Structure 1
Amino acid sequence: MEWSQVLQDPVLKDLPYKIELNEDGHIVMSPASNLHGYLQSRLVMELAKKIDDGKLLVETSIQTSKNVKVVDVCWASSRFIEKFGFETPYPKAPELCIEVRSPTNTDREMNEKIELYLAKGALEVWICESEGQMRFFCHEGEIAESGLVPGFPTHIRV
């Protein structure tokens, strides 16, 4: 299945949870909890205090080497938006991609998403653990704090 087919399918259009496509074109579904949504909104609010350029987006589709992944929160610079607008899915990852970890996410899944987003052009990938603890990654590996958004909290209040 292709992402354009997912977007046009009336049955899939209004699902109350996030879906992605794996490398075989199969739909992968992830039910989101209210805590997951709360953490997404807190991340957007914190980022809005520190970034005034570009766009903050949620549930953003990105074409990766393992098909379409949907990042929970991201920041795309004005230059990125100028080039890609709101193309769906994005052919390249925005500069900052943030995943909120659900209790069902494995370390392997999270590490794979970090690698996929960085390989598609993200400068940093952050993981927000379900307790609100933040982890920051760049091409060199895990870092103590963000270089893109200096002073971003290392913990999101739950």
Structure 2
Amino acid sequence: MMDWAEICANPILRELPFKIQTDKWGHIIMSPATNEHGMYQAKITALLSRLIDNGIVITECSVQTREGVKVTDVAWASSSFIANHRGENPFQQAPQLCVEILSPSNTMMEMNEKKELYFAGGAREVWVCDKNGNITFHQNTGEIEHSELAGYFPNPVLI
């Protein structure tokens, strides 16, 4: 079993066209991503970069959870979060905003589990983008109508 640093450094794993995460036992989980998934990821990243100041947008952001390392498709972290956690790989705490884009291989049960893990790690909001660009916004108390971190975020996201 490899730890996260070894997984990231492995030249074979680095070149795979899959998103890599781990489960709570340290087993590697790979999920193939479609080009459409990448388009939504790029669009959400660009929009967040314009809409939220005083922080940074991160793609493929690794977060250590009680169920292994999970990798958000997009995340936003405040400047103070980055000051406190810069250099961690994976982050030992979830950034304030974690965004998951559904892939054909994802289930809602899996997304609900990831939401819970990100909230347990300190996330303030978790968004889920479906295959049509529709986003559901969530706080740890449940679904909300729009983001409080990026209130003017367009929904749906058009690509």
TM-score for both structures, normalised by structure 1: 0.96
Aligned partner of 1:44 in structure 2 is 45
Cα deviation per residue 1:85-131 (whole Å; 9 max; x = unaligned)?
A: 14210000000000001122111100001000010000000001111
Compare 142-151 and 120-129 and name the one that shifted more.
142-151
Task: State the 1:8 CA deviation.
Answer: 2.4
Aligned partner of 2:76 in structure 1 is 75
Cα 1:46–1:116, aligned 2, differ >3 Å: closer, same or farther? same
Runs (4 or more) in structure 1 with deviation over 6 Å come to none
Answer whether contact 2:40 2:157 (CA < 8 A) is retained.
yes
Aligned partner of 1:91 in structure 2 is 92
RMSD over aligned Cα atoms:
0.9
Aligned partner of 2:35 in structure 1 is 34
Paired residue secondary structure (1:12): helix
Aligned partner of 1:147 in structure 2 is 148
Aligned partner of 1:57 in structure 2 is 58
CA distance in 1, matches of 2:15, 2:87: 19
CA distance in 1, matches of 2:8, 2:72: 16
Name stretches of at least 5 consecutive residues in structure 2 with no aligned partner.
none
Pair 1:110-2:111 in alignment: yes
Name stretches of at least 5 consecutive residues in structure 1 with no aligned partner.
none
Aligned partner of 1:18 in structure 2 is 19
Task: State the 1:154 CA deviation.
Answer: 1.9
Task: State the 1:69 CA deviation.
Answer: 0.4
Task: In structure 2, give the amino acid aligned to 1:111.
Answer: N
Percentage of pairs with the same residue: 46
CA distance in 2, matches of 1:29, 1:17: 6
Task: In structure 2, give the amino acid aligned to 1:6.
Answer: I
TM-score for both structures, normalised by structure 2: 0.96
